[in-house]
Amino acid sequence: MIIEIPDILSTEQIAHARRRLESADWEDGKKTAGHQAVQTKNNQQLPTQHPVAKEVGQLILSALSSNPLFLTAALPKEILPPMFNLYTGNESFGTHVDNAIRTLPDGRRIRTDLSCTLFFAEPDEYEGGELIIEDTYGSKEVKLPAGHLILYPSTSLHQVTPVTKGARLCSFFWIQSMVRSDEQRSLLFDLDISIQRLAQAGPDNQAVNDSTVQLTGVYHNLLRQWAEM
Ligand code: NI
């Protein structure tokens, strides 16, 4: 399941974050690339421990924790601290799959179930730089407005096409979900969205109300079966 989540950050938050990010010292993205990715990764990155990365990362994590669409789609158990990358002058990242295991700052390891990219530049500020995600149904080309986020299964092959003009500034990070299977998570997401729709339609209709209660029970009982804590 690939889901776009709009307006994670406001225009003001984006403007503030960009001023901070643009003042920081960026380094070669190859430093954190794995054995296979080092050959295809060609971009700039902000070190995770950089004060600006920490500051803007906190802003993102706090926005995510109160975003209902993100929470219902990702069912997050752990979120890695957001990282940042910058592509200019023909930089790109060839087709790869993200590492399965990553380490949290406290040393615990998490499994990457979901990958996220949050855009900080508007699509018309740069040429190229599409995130291409290979899905079971074909490939999807993603280039979102600033402040919007794309959530996709970390099992997907993906790439960033060369940025031929301007600069593409994004945050990226990984999530271990309470529900490991993308298929089960998608079913829960569809059920949750339908229940919310029914709940809004329901107030005066007893049958709709009863169904909403019953389906909410089904949702929680599936989550009880599938969630890992
Ligand atoms: Ni990647």
The enclosing domain of 135 has a CATH number of 2.60.120.620
Query: What's the gap in Å between 63 CA and the centre of ligand 1?
Result: 22
Same domain, 164 and 52: yes
Same domain, 27 and 67: yes
Where are the strands (E) in the chain, listed by range?
A: 3-5, 27-28, 41-42, 44-46, 76-79, 83-87, 92-96, 101-103, 109-111, 114-119, 126-128, 131-135, 138-142, 149-153, 158-160, 163-166, 168-177
Same domain, 92 and 199: no
Same domain, 41 and 125: yes
Least confident of 148-152, 189-193, 197-201, 223-227: 197-201
Query: What's the gap in Å between 3 CA and the centre of ligand 1?
Result: 16
Query: What's the gap in Å between 114 CA and the centre of ligand 1?
Result: 11
Query: What's the gap in Å between 206 CA and the centre of ligand 1?
Result: 48
Q: What value does the mean pLDDT take over residues 45-50?
A: 88
Least confident of 17-21, 37-41, 83-87, 185-189: 37-41
Query: What's the gap in Å between 219 CA and the centre of ligand 1?
Result: 31
- The number of domains in the chain is 2
137-181 pLDDT tens trace = 899 999 999 999 999 999 999 999 999 999 999 999 999 999 999
State the chain's mean pLDDT as an integer: 94
Same domain, 162 and 213: no
Same domain, 128 and 212: no
Tell me the whole-structure pTM to 2 decimals.
Answer: 0.94
Q: Which domain CATH number covers 217?
A: 4.10.860
Same domain, 11 and 61: yes
Same domain, 165 and 63: yes
Same domain, 197 and 117: no
Same domain, 203 and 172: no
Same domain, 104 and 193: no
Query: What's the gap in Å between 178 CA and the centre of ligand 1?
Result: 21
Same domain, 171 and 191: no
The parent domain of residue 193 ranges over 182-226
